[in-house]
Amino acid sequence: MIPDAEAPGDGVLDIEGPIAEEQWFGDETSSKEFKKALAGLKNVTVHINSPGGDVMAGAEIYSALMEHRLNGKGKVTVIITALAASAASVVAMAGDEILISPVAYMMIHNPWTVTAGDAKEMRKAAKTLDEIAEGLITAYQRKTGKTRDQLKKMLENETWMSAQTCVEEGFADGIYGGEISAAAFLPAHTMTRQTPAAIAEMCARWEKAHAEADPEEEPEEEPEEPGTEPEDPEEDPEKEDRTGKPAKKAADPEKDPDEDPDEEPGSDPEEDPDGEPGADPEEEPGADPEDPEEKPEEEPDEEKEKENLKRAEIARRMEILSRTEW
């Protein structure tokens, strides 16, 4: 416990180690000492790192904090720094505001005890534990708003909760220091734990971004598939020829055998009668290899465009996350 009992104003109280009515080994948090320290404070921050302990001592600390805030003495802020288990989780429910470290945990379970005696004593002990459980459920219910049946199942199952689960289930009001930002860099479909409002907003925006990006990619790929680019260089010489004699250039491919004496492959037209199929594969596939050559040139362009779109989407997501208030 950091502040002195007589120090006025705000202060901080630490609940560390087991909770007990008195200190026996020196590492317990005594409910009596806690009440003395609390009496001299106004606004108080309670740090909790405890595995629990005596349920009655925990109930005494819970009641003291509730009285402090309900009587208007000051605000009670609870910060779970590592663990709030068993009776310590009940104490945490007394805060006006409950915050939990992103690496802290909470555990709730049914009360248990050690007893000896005959069947009558055993039945009495079991009934006592059931009644104590009802008190614990009341503390959790006032904070979370869950039904008693829901909380009974959680106690019976000895439920452990991470920081984010505590927020989602209503056992804490928020993550100490803000929401876990690492989850924001995951895709919307892989995000598992965020506040419901944040999930709804980010998923909606990201889905809209994907929907807008998909139609943009399709029209960009369509003009590339027909291959208008290879036609442009062919049309350019045609336009130059149209200023002069377009008909002659249209017949140029037919006059290739006539112009063969000027060109080196002049022997090809002479060999056409002997090996017409031989000349055809040379001329016809001549245009075909150009298509595969153009396709690999277009494929890397499409991949680059897809990468650019992905980077643009990532940039948009980062802008959305930077503007979102957690």
**Tens digits of residue pLDDT in 36-48:** 999 989 999 999 9
What is residue 71's three-state secondary structure?
coil
Write down the pLDDT at residue 201: 64
Give the pLDDT confidence of 198-240 residue by residue, as tens digits: 556 665 666 666 666 555 444 445 545 544 454 444 444 444 4
Count of CB atoms situated within 10 Å of the CB of 87: 27
Q: Where in the chain are all domains bearing CATH 3.90.226.10? A: 11-178
Could you tell me what percent of the chain has a pLDDT over 70? 58
Write down the pLDDT at residue 319: 73
H helix or E strand, kind and range, residue 107? strand 105-108
Q: How confident is the model at residue 27 (pLDDT cuts 50, 70, 90)?
A: confident
CA distance 30 to 14: 11
Q: Taking the alpha carbons of 120, 125, 127, 128 in that order, is the dihedral positive or negative?
A: positive
Q: How confident is the model at residue 251 (pLDDT cuts 50, 70, 90)?
A: very low
CATH fold of 11-178 = 2-enoyl-CoA Hydratase; Chain A, domain 1 (3.90.226)
Phi/psi at 288 (nearest 5 deg)?
A: -65, -45
Count of CB atoms situated within 10 Å of the CB of 100: 29
